[in-house]
Amino acid sequence: MAEDKEFPSQQQERPGHEGEMEPEPQDEMRGYTGSGKLDGKVALVTGGDSGIGRAVCVAFAKEGADVAVAYLSEDDDAKHTAGLVEAEGRRALTLRCDLQQEDECRRIVRETVDGLGKLDVLVNHHGTQTPVDSPEEITTEQWEGTFKTNVYGVWWTTHEALKHLGEGASIINTGSVNGIRGNKELIDYAATKGAVHVLTFSLAQALIERKIRVNCVAPGPVWTPLIVATFPTEKVESFGQQAPMQRAAQPDEIAPSYVFFASEQLSSYYTGEVLAPVGGETHPG
Q: Which of 71, 152, 189, 258 is catalytic?
A: 189
Nearest to 55 by CA among 214, 188, 254: 254
Contact 153, 126 (CB under 8 A): yes
Active site residue 189: yes
Phi, psi of 25 (to 5 degrees): -60, 150
53 by Cβ neighbours in 10 Å (0-12 / 13-18 / 19+) ranks as: buried
Nearest to 281 by CA among 247, 236, 258, 238: 247
The set of catalytic residues is 189
